[in-house]
C-alpha cells in the first residue's frame, strides 16, 4: 500500500479484516506500506498490521514478492504510480478520483487496458458501491422494481470547512488534489448515481465556486483539523459544486434528468451522501449517515397502502452480509473497504475484470471535467468527453 493517511487506515482495515470473515479464493498478505517519512510510515505499519515499511515506492513496485499495489496517495501521484505498477505486472487498486486530469486518467485507462491483455487487473476505489444498502438498491433497479427511471437526485454534503480559519490542507490545493469538493466527494455522487441506475451521464450544466479564497497555512505534522500558522495561502480548488445532468437515453427512449451537489459548507452535515431515484413504478432513497437503511416506495400498491418504507439492510440475503453479524447488528463505514478487498481478490482469482474499472474512473473524470468547463461557460450545457 502506497500512502498511509486517512485512506491508508481505511484500506488497511479492509485488507486485515476481509480474509477473516470471507472465504477468499486467495489469501492476501499485508507485506509493505510505503510513505516518505520513514519514522511515521514505520509507526503506521506497526499500528495497522503491515509486515514492513519502506520509503521508495519504485523499489517496492519492482519487488517479486508484491502482487497488488494499493494506491492511497493524493491525486497528483496516481498516474505515475499506477502506470508503473501495471507495467511491472502488478494488479492495482487506486483510490478515487482516478486522476487529477482527464489526460492523466486516459493514460491510466490505456495502461490498464494493455495490462488486462496480460491478465493484470485494476480497479478504482469507489467504495460506496460496496455499502450493502446501495448494492441492494442497484438490485431493485435492475429487477425493474422502479420501472422506467425518470429522475435522479444525488448530493454529497459535508461541513468540515465552514470555519474560515481552518488550515490550508493539500485537499485545497489544485496541484495536489486536482479539484475540491467536486472531485473529492462529487465524484462519489456521480459514480453512485450511475452505479445504482445503470445509466451514464452524457451532458452537464453546472457551476463551481470557492467560498473561502484564502486560509492559514498548515503547521508541521497536523491533519485535516490541525493547527494553523500565521501565514496564509490561496485556496485553488472549489468549495461548492452544483450541476444538472442528462443521462444517455436507455434504448433511445426518455433521457432521465439528474441533479447533483457537492459541498464542504453544508453546516451540520458530516458525511451526507444521499441519492434518490424516481421511476414509473417506484422510488428509493439512501443516506450514508443512515447507511444500514434503504427507503423504498412501491407505486404499484393500492393507493391506501403507498408510502416510503424503511428497509433495514442487515439480512444475510442482502449483498455482502452473509459472513457478518445476525440481522439487525449494524455495519459501519469501514466494512465497505473489506467488501472492496473481497471483490478485487475474487476477480483476480477468477481472471475477470473487477468493477469499477479504470475505464469507469476515466468516465467519471470526464464528467467532472464537463462540470468545470460548463461552469467556465456560465452553465452552458456541455457534452461529457
User: Using one digit for the tens of pLDDT, what is the confidence trace for 324-365?
Assistant: 999 999 999 999 999 999 999 999 999 999 999 999 999 999
63/137 same-domain check: no
Task: Tell me: do 247 and 314 sit in the same domain.
Answer: yes
- Going by pLDDT thresholds of 50, 70 and 90, the confidence category of residue 220 is low
Give residue-wise pLDDT tens across range 257-281: 999 999 999 999 999 999 999 999 9
The answer to whether residue 363 is domain-embedded is no
Instruction: Compute the Cα dihedral for 369, 340, 156, 279 and give only its sign.
Output: positive
Three-class SS of residue 182?
helix
Q: Are residues 96 and 146 in the same domain?
A: no
pLDDT digits (tens, 9 = 90+) for 290-299: 999 999 999 9
User: Of 222 and 105, which is predicted with more confidence?
Assistant: 105
Q: Are residues 22 and 83 in the same domain?
A: yes
Tell me: do 166 and 102 sit in the same domain.
no
Q: Is residue 118 a contact partner of residue 92, using CB atoms and an 8 Å limit?
A: no
Residue 30 vs residues 19, 22, 67: alpha-carbon distances, Å: 11, 16, 11
Task: Please state the φ and ψ torsions of residue 312, each to the nearest 5 degrees.
Answer: -80, 110
Residues 105 and 33 in one domain: yes
pLDDT of residue 226: 54
The CATH number given to whatever domain includes residue 304 is 3.30.360.10
Residue 352 domain-assigned? no
**How many domains are there within the chain?**
2
The mean per-residue pLDDT over the stretch 284-293 comes to 98
Residue 224, pLDDT above cutoff 60: no
> Does the pLDDT at position 323 exceed 80?
yes
Q: What separation in angstroms does the CA of 227 have from each of 92, 165, 218, 367?
A: 35, 10, 7, 35
For residue 9, pLDDT over 80 is answered with: yes
Residue 221 has pLDDT above 60, yes or no: no
Assess whether 137 and 267 both reside in one domain. yes
The C-alpha cell of 210 is what?
470557492
Residue 349, domain member (yes or no): no
**Residue 223 binned pLDDT confidence (cut-offs 50, 70, 90):** very low
Are 157 and 293 part of one and the same domain? yes
364 within some domain: no
**Domain end residue (candidates: 64, 93, 125):** 125
- State the Cα–Cα distance between residues 222 and 237, nearest whole angstrom: 20
pLDDT digits (tens, 9 = 90+) for 116-169: 999 999 999 999 999 999 999 999 999 999 999 999 999 999 999 999 999 999
By DSSP bridging, strand 228-234 and strand 240-247 are: unpaired
Cβ neighbours, 10 Å, residue 307: 9
Cα(385)–Cα(382) distance, integer angstroms: 9
Please report the DSSP string for 130-142 in residue order: GSHHHHHHHHHHH
Domain boundary among 331, 346, 376: 331
Which pLDDT band holds residue 11 (cuts at 50, 70, 90)?
very high
Q: What is the pTM of this model?
A: 0.95
- Residue pair 133/286 in contact (Cβ under 8 Å)? The answer is yes
* 69, 189: one domain: no
> pLDDT tens-digit profile of 78-90?
999 999 999 999 9
Specify whether the CB–CB gap between 43 and 50 falls below 8 A.
no
Give the sheet arrangement for strand 91-95, strand by strand: 68-71, 91-95, 122-125
pLDDT at 222: 41
Residue 325 located in a structural domain: yes
Query: Is 109 inside any structural domain?
Result: yes
Q: Are residues 163 and 103 in the same domain?
A: no
**Do both 103 and 192 map to the same domain?**
no
37 located within any domain: yes
- Whether residue 247 contacts residue 152, with contact meaning beta carbons closer than 8 Å, is answered with yes
Tell me if the bond preceding 53 is cis, omega within 30° of 0: no
> According to the model, what pLDDT value does residue 177 have?
87
Mean pLDDT score across all residues of the chain: 96
- Are 361 and 109 contacting, i.e. CB atoms less than 8 angstroms apart? yes
d(CA 378, CA 180): 19
* Domain coverage including residue 278: 130-331
Q: Burial, 338: exposed, middle or buried (Cβ in 10 Å; 0-12, 13-18, 19+)?
A: buried
Residue at which a domain ends, from 125, 140, 167: 125
Residues 48 and 184 in one domain: no
> 265 in a domain, yes or no?
yes
Amino acid at each position: 500500500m502506497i500512502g498511509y493517511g486517512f485512506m491508508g487506515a481505511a484500506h488497511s482495515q479492509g485488507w486485515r479484516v476481509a480474509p477473516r470473515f470471507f472465504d477468499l479464493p486467495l489469501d492476501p498478505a499485508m507485506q509493505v506500506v510505503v510513505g516518505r517519512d520513514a519514522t511515521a510510515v514505520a509507526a503506521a505499519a506497526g499500528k495497522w498490521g503491515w509486515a514492513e515499511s519502506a520509503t521508495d515506492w519504485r523499489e517496492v513496485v519492482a519487488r517479486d514478492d508484491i502482487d497488488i499495489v494499493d494506491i492511497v496517495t493524493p491525486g497528483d501521484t496516481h498516474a505515475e504510480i499506477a502506470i508503473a505498477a501495471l507495467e511491472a505486472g502488478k494488479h492495482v487498486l487506486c483510490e478515487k478520483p482516478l486522476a487529477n486530469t482527464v489526460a492523466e486518467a486516459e493514460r491510466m485507462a490505456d495502461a490498464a487496458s494493455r495490462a488486462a491483455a496480460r491478465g493484470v487487473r485494476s480497479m478504482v476505489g469507489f467504495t460506496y458501491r460496496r455499502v450493502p444498502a446501495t448494492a441492494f438498491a442497484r438490485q431493485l433497479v435492475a429487477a425493474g422494481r422502479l420501472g422506467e427511471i425518470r429522475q435522479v437526485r444525488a448530493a454529497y454534503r459535508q461541513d468540515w470547512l465552514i470555519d474560515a480559519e481552518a488550515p490550508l490542507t493539500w485537499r485545497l490545493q489544485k496541484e495536489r488534489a486536482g479539484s475540491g469538493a467536486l472531485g473529492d466527494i462529487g465524484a462519489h455522487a456521480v459514480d453512485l448515481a450511475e452505479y445504482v441506475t445503470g445509466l451514464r451521464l452524457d451532458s452537464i450544466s453546472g457551476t463551481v465556486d470557492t467560498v473561502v479564497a484564502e486560509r492559514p497555512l498548515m503547521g508541521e505534522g497536523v491533519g485535516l483539523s490541525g493547527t494553523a500558522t500565521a501565514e496564509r495561502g490561496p485556496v485553488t480548488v472549489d468549495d461548492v459544486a452544483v450541476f444538472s445532468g442528462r443521462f444517455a437515453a436507455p434504448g433511445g427512449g426518455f433521457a432521465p434528468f439528474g441533479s447533483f451537489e457537492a459541498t464542504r459548507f453544508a453546516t451540520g452535515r458530516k458525511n451526507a451522501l444521499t441519492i434518490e431515484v424516481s421511476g414509473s413504478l417506484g422510488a428509493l432513497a439512501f443516506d450514508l449517515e443512515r447507511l444500514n437503511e434503504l427507503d423504498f416506495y412501491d407505486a404499484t400498491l393500492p393507493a391506501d397502502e403507498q408510502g416510503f418504507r424503511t428497509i433495514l439492510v442487515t439480512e444475510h440475503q442482502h449483498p455482502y452480509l452473509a459472513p457478518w453479524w445476525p440481522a439487525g447488528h449494524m455495519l459501519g463505514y469501514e466494512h465497505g473497504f473489506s467488501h472492496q478487498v473481497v471483490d478485487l481478490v475474487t476477480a483476480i482469482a477468477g481472471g475477470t475484470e473487477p468493477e469499477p474499472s479504470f475505464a469507469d474512473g476515466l468516465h467519471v473524470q470526464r464528467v467532472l471535467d464537463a462540470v468545470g468547463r460548463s461552469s467556465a461557460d456560465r452553465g452552458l450545457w456541455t457534452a461529457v468527453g
